[in-house]
Structure 1
Amino acid sequence: MLILAAPGRVATVGSSTLNSYVDDDDSTQKRRSAFLAAGLAGLERVDRADAERVTRDAGMDMGGSTRWTQAIDHAASRGDEASVALLAAFGMQGDNWQRMTPRHLYHIVSALRSVGLDAEARMIAAEAVARV
């Protein structure tokens, strides 16, 4: 949680550290670990391949593409902060955090970070881990 919330550039999380967290995770289907990995990957604080492995092992997917992921990634690549914020809100719709997926979390955090909304990206990543 601290590495997600820390501002500025921080050292990346190694695969052994991530594996230790996964081993100690008692959440249903290791959902907390999948969100941690997706959030860290979106913040570029863990190797994306390690994050994809953790989410895959949890029975979820961080990769793949949908119309929504393409839209938020494209808005981020244009530096369109307003569209990223709107698409992030759209991607977070649901009645609880169980409706969130690692794929959505990764793209939301990554897009927010890339348009300069780092604090918001870190907050959403930490909140997702805390809520499951």
Structure 2
Amino acid sequence: MCDSCTSASRSQESQIDRRDKANAQLNDDVNKARDKIDRLLHQIEELQQTDSENQFQVRRAERELREEREKGLRLERELDGWKALRIERGSAVGRGPMAAFSDVGSRRGSGAYMSSDIPQRMPSNTKGFLA
């Protein structure tokens, strides 16, 4: 009977060893899975943060584009106003509407400014240049 007791005892010990190894393997697998889950959650947080930043940049770029378009339209309206004013001024003088876009009647090169009105340049030797 002792032999059968010893055999049964050895069988139970080997079963316990197999279960301990299986438990250790399962615990190791669980720890690896937890580490992977933590890593994936961290990646999700980073991706969400990046996505939020990208959405913010898109909204900012869209706002800047809208502002630039509005600025362009405002400048076009201002230019049209100046053109209309120039045409009105030209027709009031009796010139044709296309003459409003020429330099006829402008002060450019006309000597409208006296030479005493134009500031004179300083000689180069007063600016630190060698004479």
TM-score class normalised by the smaller sequence: under 0.3
TM-score by length of 2: 0.18
TM-score by length of 1: 0.18
Larger Rg: 2
